[in-house]
C-alpha cells in the first residue's frame, strides 16, 4: 500500500521535517516538504497528495486555514493530519471544522504517524476520528 501513497509534510521546524521525510521515505512513501502555509496551499491544491502532515503554527498562514483553504473546493481532497504541541482536546474541535482527519500530539512516535497515515488512506481521509 505505501508505494502508491504521496505524502506532503508541512512544518517550519526543519529537524522534524527531515526526520519525517527520512522515516516515511524509508517506509516506502513518496514524500515532499514545504515550510510555510503559502507554499502548502499551492502544493495541496495540485491534487498530487494522498495525505498531508500539517503543523498548526506556520509562517504566513496557520495550518487550520491552510487545510480549509486547500480542500474546500477539491473533489478528492487529501487526508489532512494535524500535528500540534498545543492542547489536543481543544485542537480536535478546530481540526474537525477545518476538515482534518486526525490530530497528532507533538512530540509523537514515528510508528503512530505510520498508523494514522494508513488509517487515513483506508478511510479515504474522512474526518471520522477527530
Query: Is-contact 54 84, C-beta < 8 A?
Result: no
E-strand spans in 46-101? 51-55, 79-84
CATH topology of domain 7-113: Rossmann fold (3.40.50)
127 or 58: which leads in pLDDT = 58
C-alpha cell at 45: 491544491
- Please write the tens of the pLDDT for every residue from 64-107: 999 999 988 888 899 999 999 998 888 888 888 888 999 999 99
Give the start-to-end residue ranges of the domains of the chain.
Answer: 7-113
* pLDDT recorded at residue 72: 84
* pLDDT recorded at residue 128: 52
Amino acid at each position: 500500500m505505501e508505494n502508491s501513497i504521496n505524502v506532503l509534510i508541512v512544518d517550519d521546524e526543519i529537524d522534524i521535517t527531515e526526520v519525517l521525510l527520512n522515516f516515511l521515505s524509508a517506509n516506502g512513501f513518496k514524500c515532499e516538504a514545504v515550510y510555510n502555509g503559502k507554499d502548502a496551499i499551492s502544493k495541496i491544491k495540485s491534487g498530487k497528495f494522498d495525505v498531508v502532515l500539517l503543523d498548526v503554527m506556520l509562517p504566513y498562514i496557520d495550518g487550520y486555514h491552510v487545510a480549509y483553504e486547500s480542500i474546500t473546493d477539491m473533489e478528492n481532497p487529501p487526508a489532512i493530519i494535524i500535528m500540534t504541541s498545543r492542547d489536543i482536546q481543544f485542537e480536535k474541535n478546530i481540526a474537525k471544522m477545518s476538515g482534518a482527519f486526525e490530530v497528532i500530539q507533538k512530540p509523537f512516535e514515528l510508528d503512530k504517524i505510520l498508523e494514522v497515515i494508513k488509517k487515513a488512506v483506508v478511510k479515504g481521509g474522512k474526518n471520522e476520528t477527530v
